[in-house]
Structure 1
Amino acid sequence: MKTVIRVIISALFFQLLLFTNPVFSQQWTAAPEIIGEGSDDDTVIGRVFHDANKNGLLDQGEKGVEGVLVSNGVDWVSTDDEGGYEINVKDDMNLAIVQPSGWRVPTDERMVPQFFYIYKEGGTGYDMRFGGLPDTGPAPAEVNFPLTRENTADDSFTCAVLGDSQAYSNEQVSWLRDGVIADVVDAGLTPEDCMIYLGDVVGDDLGLLDRILNISSVTGLPQWMVIGNHDIDFDARTNEDKSDSWRRIYGPNYYAFEKGEVLFVALDNVYYPCGEESVAAGRMNCAEDRGPSYNGRLTEEQFAWLEGLVDRTPEDRLIVLMHHIPFVSFVDATSGQHQTDELHRIHDIVEGRKALSLSGHTHELENLSPGEIFEGWTEQTGIGPLPFRHIIAGAASGAWYRGDFNVDGVPMALQRLGAPMGYLNLDFEGPDYKETYIGTGLSRDRGQWIGVNTPGFRHWFSTIMDWVGQDRSERNEVPPYSINDLPDTKILTPEDFEEGVWLTANVWAGSAETRVVAELPDGTELELTRTQEGEGEGVRTGAEYADPFVVARQLSVARFAFESQLGEERAQGFELFQGSRFGPAPPQPQGSIADRNMHLWRADLPELPNGVHSIRITSTDRHGRTFTDTITLEVMDMLPPKYWRHELWE
């Protein structure tokens, strides 16, 4: 089934699938109704109404919807018993409603929810590479927002959450189509579910955004997007302008919506260009002599907007804060730029509430539990141990589409902590949720890699990493080892046990609550220990903390060497990022090696007798769900010859 869908999506039948997909029979295409110009520009009025005939227009007899939240990006009002509202006009605003539980806003043909009117009289005011915002003219006299009832009153639903699809080219958009999007299509979700992109939807080229929206609309899911640092206008002169092209192509850079018993809050914590205020907070990348840069922070307007929203939200709601730059991160624990300034203020706003943080940015998966803390968080963000769960949701592009191709023709791109490219599946039941990470092109029942860390592996790994650390202009262009030189880590000798052998389990969405146990051949249970406790320690790196399963694939990528006789010049080796060239060259390590981990478990393997041994490793997540894999080991007095024995044939 999955293979068939992948072929259909990637072939000329894409449009046929788009229009014959049964979920589109439930699609409601409309937009807010804009009426006239205001007699003054101080306020705008309108109604939120039940669009009974689904034409997007407030027709006679159609009733207003009471209690719907309306915002201009700072202030909040609620609709009256006839659905009416009046709110101040800001010079540059996203006039938007919060989709209320039990109702749905319409979408456009790209499945982009239509709950907003963007106003910027005069527009961006200067030329931008991707167009910015045109002059919207004076504020309208009236903006009416249509709603329709959900098809189900059930508070159970699923959201497919995608971190960093980050496509820099149409080639990479195609990999997104044939990778994660194909998996989401195969998941069988309905328009009553949702799809969330956590920023860096594109890689600096906003001209690709429409194609991505069109492709992922085949899922039939409303597409809720967060802006990332690669989705902005890099030629913007102020932070207020940096999202203008995004707002024209997609919609607001921050907003909120409800589903069931959940309030989803999309924040914009990419501040660009940052300057003196950020430098004063220690963000030296924002210094004037460094050139334009970004920083992770909210504006004061957003703080006021968020506080007003939370104050108006029932206390029994789960609040899901969606943002691109993590609030905190294990891999970037000591970085100011890649975490969020003044995080204590955000935590204070939701204090006492049931909350969840979702982010992307770092191209790896972190499931950070309440009570955890790593060295650097307090210094960089002003917080102590986490008050609620923070999840960095991995990346739909994996490690930036690096690595060799998988069986579906998509780069494996194993991520910085070793998880595969993929998406986070969130199943909501009322205000509760269960998180599952779905690896691209893999069984939904697979959730971990298991491996063996041996002395031979550690020597191989350390030698290559020493070469990686050398000056490129001085080192040999050929790495010291390739994948062909890695000893078979599943053949063990007494010398290996003497130097130390560890069983490892890289549990992709593992958290502090995860438990991992190995069952040895004699029935003994061996508990594996997490390599990072999350109790304030720093990041541990090196061969002892690397995932041997993953780095075996990351440290020797054959794709660097791909060449053709008749192909065009740019097809030699490969291109990533902003057209950066990689190869042709001997097989090389990819960037972002999994030499550290916060979801790796390990245990010393006791010496086993000579023979063949199968070991079962089971991880149990915080919801009681299990992943079990079996690894087969051979124990011998000495390693057997690896290659063809020529001497027997001479």
Structure 2
Amino acid sequence: MKRISFLICLSLILPLTVNAQPWYGKPQVVGAGAGGDQISGVVFNDLNQNGLLDRGEPGVGDVLVSNGLNWTSTDESGRYEIGVREDMNLTIVQPSGWRVPTDQRMVPQFFYIHKEGGTGYDMRFGGLPDTGPAPSEINFPLHRDGAAGEEFTCAVLGDTQTYSNEQVSWLRDGALSDILDNGLKPGDCMLYLGDVVGDDLGLLDRILELGSVNNVPQWMVLGNHDIDFDARTNADKADSWRRIYGPDYYAFEMGNVLFVVLDNVYYPCGEEDVAMGRTHCGQGRSTYNGRLTETQFQWLDELVQRTPEDRLIVVNTHIPLISFADGTSGQHQTDELHRLHAILENHEALSFSGHTHTMENHSPGQLFNGWTEQTGIGPLPFRHIIAGAASGAWYQGDFTVEGVPMALMRLGAPMGYLHVEFTGADYRERYVGAGVDPERGHWIGVNTPAFRQWFNRIIEWNRSSAENRNPIPPYSINDLPDTKIVTPGDIEEGVWLTVNVWAGSAETEVKAILPGDQRLTMERTQSGEGESPKTGAQWADPFAAARQLSVARYAYESTMGPERAQGQELFRGSNMGPAAPRPQSSIALSNMHLWRVQLPELPLGVHPIEVVITDRHGEVSTDRITIEVRESHPPRYWRNELWD
């Protein structure tokens, strides 16, 4: 049933689902508009699941409650009291073994949004209405989760980033279809790492409805494309998000894991950011910077102090804490990261993020050029994972057989999602490519002299001025010779076997086994010892680059179709084409998860090569590629001369 259409798949699965029935509800508001500088209430076991604190329903003790700055915990009767802030998300931390109710979109209901006066000015997507004075009491329902335990799975999606309903449909038939096919169980979760939409918050409800069919909670991070771009201050930039979805930072527990969702998109950035060296904030236009507010630092510090040391703390942000692809950028990494690392020092920790449209699995001890200068850290103290993008390279690329854009990302991995299995405080991660065999986690390529010539000429054209260059690129995919046919001269000049292991890390081992049991250890092209990215034809992934450098979708046009269907429409309705096939905007020029080995001299003939990949968990996968060594390259096309 792997690739039945999404709607048919739903009709087949939903009547037979073994997931626990959704529990719809929300916090109980008592004494609306009562005002006061304190707010209180009860966190209770909602035995009849009606969302109301009924006689005989017991309180739940030791549940953490926050006003977005300070923390308290419920007493043995489930009661709490905490100060009211003028603009706050009043939240509880879903405790392990319990679950909070959701709405029908499977959005967890663990919060009350309070902003007296509301946004106070018109916003494109509505902002927040005036919530009035704070109520006197908010009661938070919980229910024992019979499916909860030490073992659970989360489907982690970076950058679904849909700019249109057409792209929402591609998300539906891509990563969301794979998640549905692969199955989530009671007690599992979905976690979106920001840029859920592409600047149009009107698309958010449809995405939530599509994801809700998995019958698991949908936890979301705020991204820089999910904000109100007409916000005047950072305090207002998430107002529409808070109305449509919920809090912009919060925490929840599952099993032995504390998930912490942070908002590190500071918008609009300004003088304070410029003083920190972020000069892009002082260019007379509204833009964002990657950093946490002092309020969040204080909120996080106290939360961590209240967290048992045996908990794994998973920090979830949109903008990465660090990045290989954007290692020298201040905007696209997180300022003062050393402060966050210090807060987490005595805990097992893990970082998930999105934003860069790359899959990056950074092991403890890794360091790349720019991290120290931009974020203030040295080698990593714990694992940091940038979880790829469900939109891939912003839905670019040619269509797959499923009718979804291929959209290979900046480091060559496909669009998809991160599948993470938690057991206690341990976890195992693997990246699932959309529309790809879920057991496959790599591409194999061959980097030949012909590939490098083809690559370099297209890159040179792509970097030249659009006004002065020939509108037709020097080469297309049709001009790339068969790279699996090589000559002795090619081998002498340099032929590399390459393996792009999408979720590969410093611990990953890759070997190539040639006929005669000749074993070659493949070397990771980036060691992560403080160096800069190695860029260029010899460091590129030839499998991905061949598909990224010549995209036919640019050329699509029709005589009767609508004007906006000609060529391709991508970011904010920007039209690209019709034009000759050309490179997409993201190309695998460098890579932190590419392994390669130079082929030795081989005799003429056919050489099947086995590739063996061992990931950091000891899981082994194998693949094969066949290389032909010929005295010269055989004629490529139909031999007309024999028929003239």
Q: Does 1:580 align with 2:574?
A: yes
Q: Contact between 1:191 and 1:222, CA under 8 Å: does it hold in 2?
A: no
Alpha carbons 1:204, 1:232 under 8 Å: kept: yes
Gaps of 5+ in 1: none
Q: Within 5 A, what are the aligned runs for 1:225-304?
A: 225-287=220-282, 289-304=283-298
User: Counterparts of 1:273 and 1:21 in 2: how far apart (Å)?
Assistant: 48
Structure 1 residue 191: Cα displacement: 3.3
Does the CA-based 8 Å contact 1:189-1:221 persist in structure 2? yes
* Equivalent position amino acid for 1:539 in 2: P
Counterpart residue number, 2:363: 369
Cα distance in structure 2, aligned partners of 1:219 and 1:471: 47
Whether contact under 8 Å (1:23, 1:220) holds in the other structure is no
User: Structure 1 residues 35 and 489 mapped into 2: Cα distance closer, same or farther (>3 Å)?
Assistant: same
Distance 1:162 1:466, change over 3 A: same
Name the amino acid aligned to 1:316: D
Letter in 1 for 2:424: G
State the distance in 2 between where 1:377 and 1:435 align: 24
Amino acid at match of 1:296: G
Mean Cα displacement is larger for which, 548-557 or 31-40? 31-40
The structural deviation recorded for 1:190 is 1.9
Counterparts of residues 187-226 of structure 1 (less than 5 Å) = 187-226=182-221
Q: In 2, distance between residues paired with 1:540 and 1:19?
A: 48
For 1:509-524, what aligned pairs fall within 5 Å after superposition?
Answer: 509-524=503-518
Q: 1:471 aligns with which of 465, 468, 471?
A: 465
Give the secondary-structure state (helix, strand or coil) at the position aligned to 1:406.
Answer: coil
Where in structure 1 do 4 or more consecutive aligned residues deviate above 3 Å? Answer: 16-21, 37-40
Partner in structure 2 of residue 185 of structure 1: 180
* Contact kept in structure 2, 1:18 and 1:218, CA below 8 Å: no
Q: 1:404: which partner in 2?
A: 398
Counterpart of 2:2 in structure 1: which amino acid? K
**Tell me, what secondary structure is at the counterpart of 2:3?**
helix
Give 1:627 shift: 2.1
TM-score (norm 2): 0.99
Aligned pairs for 1:480-491 (under 5 A) are: 480-491=474-485
Q: Does the Cα contact within 8 Å between 1:448 and 1:627 map onto a contact in 2?
A: no
Distance across 1 between alignment mates of 2:621 and 2:248: 38
Report the residue type matching 1:630 in the other structure.
Answer: R
> C-alpha distance in 2, partners of 1:455/1:430?
49
Cα distance between partner residues in 1 of 2:628 and 2:84: 73
Alignment check: 8 A CA contact 1:323 1:359 kept: yes
Distance in 1 (alpha carbons) for counterparts of 2:214 and 2:171:
13
Cα displacement string for residues 366-413 of structure 1 (whole angstroms, at most 9, x for unaligned residues): 000000000110000000000000000000000000000001100000
2:602 is the counterpart of 1:608:
yes
Tell me by how many angstroms 1:154 deviates.
2.5
Counterpart of 1:154 (choices 149, 157, 163) is 149
Question: Residues 18, 64 of structure 1: CA spacing in aligned structure 2 closer, same or farther, 3 A cutoff?
Answer: farther
Matching of residues 434-473 of structure 1 within 5 Å? 434-473=428-467
- Identify the residue that residue 299 of structure 2 maps to in structure 1: 305
Contact conserved, 1:32 with 1:144, CA < 8 A, in 2? yes
- What secondary structure does 1:70 align onto? strand
- Conserved in 2, the CA contact under 8 Å of 1:32 and 1:117? yes
Alpha carbons 1:505, 1:600 under 8 Å: kept:
yes
Q: Deviations over 1:574-628 (max 9, x none)?
A: 1001011111011111111001000000011001101111000111110001221
CA contact 1:27–1:191 (8 Å) conserved in 2: no
Q: Matches of 2:72 and 2:568 in 1, distance apart?
A: 52
| Helix, strand or coil at the partner of 1:93 | strand
Show the 5 A alignment for 1:9-408.
20=15, 22=17, 26-37=21-32, 39-287=34-282, 289-408=283-402
Tell me the residue number matched to 2:491. 497
**3-state SS of 1:3 partner:** coil
Measure the CA separation in 2 of the matches of 1:22 and 1:614.
44
Q: CA deviation at 1:24?
A: 6.3
1:4 aligns with 2:4: yes
SS at match of 2:340: helix
CA distance in 1: counterparts of 2:462 and 2:110, whole angstroms: 50
Q: CA deviation at 1:17?
A: 6.6
- Residue 366 of structure 1 aligns to a residue in which SS? strand
1:522, CA displacement in angstroms? 1.2
Distance 2:32 2:219 in 1: 29
Q: Which amino acid counterpart does residue 595 of structure 2 have in structure 1?
A: W
What's 1:544 paired with?
A: 538
For residues 112-158 of structure 1, give each alpha carbon's deviation from its aligned partner in whole angstroms, at most 9, with x where no partner exists.
00000000111100000000000111101100000001113521000
SS of 1:401's partner is coil
Distance in 1 (CA, whole Å) between partners of 2:579 and 2:626 is 35
Q: Deviations over 1:507-557 (max 9, x none)?
A: 000000000000011101100001000000111100010000000000011
Instruction: State how far apart, in whole Å, the 1-side matches of 2:433 and 2:480 are.
Output: 25
In structure 2, the CA distance between the partners of 1:275 and 1:387, relative to structure 1 (3 Å rule), is same
Residue 578 of structure 1 aligns to a residue in which SS?
helix
Q: How far is 1:22 from its partner? A: 2.6
> How far apart are 1:20 and its partner, in Å?
3.6
Q: Which amino acid aligns with 1:22?
A: T
Q: Is the 8 A contact 1:254 1:268 kept in 2?
A: yes
Distance in 1, matches of 2:18 and 2:115, equals 35
| Counterpart pick for 1:631 among 596, 611, 625 | 625
Distance 2:606 2:375 in 1: 51
Q: What letter corresponds to residue 557 of structure 1 in structure 2?
A: V
The one-letter code of the counterpart of 2:559 is Q
May I ask how many residue pairs the two structures share in their alignment? 644
Equivalents in 2 of 1:40, 1:175: separation in Å?
46
- Is structure 2 residue 640 aligned with structure 1 residue 649? no
Measure, in 2, the Cα distance between the counterparts of 1:597 and 1:107.
40
CA distance in 1, matches of 2:229, 2:539: 38
Q: Distance in 1 between matches of 2:44 and 2:110?
A: 12
CA contact (8 A) 1:5 1:186 kept: no
CA contact (8 A) 1:296 1:341 kept: yes
Whole-angstrom CA distance in 2 between matches of 1:529 and 1:559: 35
Alignment check: 8 A CA contact 2:157 2:416 kept:
yes
* Cα distance in structure 2, aligned partners of 1:552 and 1:418: 10
Query: Do 2:35 and 2:135's aligned partners in 1 also have CA atoms closer than 8 Å?
Result: no
Does the 8 Å CA contact 1:325/1:338 hold for their aligned counterparts?
yes
Deviations along 1:415-473, one digit per CA (max 9) or x if unpaired, are 00000000000000000000010000111110110111000000000010011111000
Check conservation: 2:525, 2:596, Cα contact below 8 A: yes
Matched residue SS, 2:212: helix
For 1:293 and 1:150, the matched residues in 2 are separated by 42
Whole-angstrom CA distance in 1 between matches of 2:576 and 2:537: 26
| Contact 1:17/1:218 (8 A) holds in 2 | no
Name the CA distance, whole Å, in 1 between partners of 2:237 and 2:12. 36
* Superimposed CA distance per residue, residues 210-263 of structure 1 (whole angstroms, 9 cap, x where no aligned partner): 110011111112000000000000000000000000000000000000000000
Structural RMSD (CA): 1.1
- Aligned partners of 2:347, 2:158: CA distance in 1, in Å? 25
The one-letter amino acid paired with 1:8 is I
Report the TM-score when normalising by structure 1.
0.98
How does 1:407-422 map onto structure 2 within 5 Å?
407-422=401-416
Which one is further off, 240-249 or 210-219? 210-219
C-alpha distance in structure 2 between counterparts of 1:488 and 1:5, whole Å: 34
Provide closer, same or farther for how the CA distance between residues 247 and 153 of structure 1 changes in structure 2, counting only shifts above 3 A.
closer
Identify if the C-alpha distance between structure 1 residues 218 and 18 changes in structure 2 by more than 3 Å, giving closer, same or farther: farther
